[in-house]
Amino acid sequence: MPLYYEVAKNFNSIESGIAIFPFTFTTAPAAIVVGLVITKTGKYRPSIVCFLIITLFQNLDLDG
């Protein structure tokens, strides 16, 4: 992801780090929640689908 920002968006290393900052703070808590849900339910497939959907929507460049 940082390489994408550096090559395609022409960001420097500091700017690319700042650009991926929101992804880090949304994915890490989601992983903790999903881990707890899998522990309680014993089902992991719904979490894989949720992470797939979240990843697809995070990578959409809606800003242009």
pLDDT digits (tens, 9 = 90+) for 42-61: 998 988 888 888 778 877 76
What whole-number distance in Å separates Cα of residue 33 and Cα of residue 36?
A: 5
Classify burial at 34, counting beta carbons within 10 Å of its beta carbon; exposed 0-12, middle 13-18, buried 19 or more: middle
Spatial CA neighbour of 52 closest among 41, 44, 62: 44
Token pair of 59, please?
Answer: 């990578």
- Domain of residue 6: give its range: 2-58
**pTM, 2 dp:** 0.54
What's residue 43's pLDDT? 92
Residue at 34 is within a domain: yes
What whole-number distance in Å separates Cα of residue 13 and Cα of residue 51?
A: 27
Residue at 63 is within a domain: no
Overall number of domains in the chain: 1
Classify burial at 20, counting beta carbons within 10 Å of its beta carbon; exposed 0-12, middle 13-18, buried 19 or more: middle
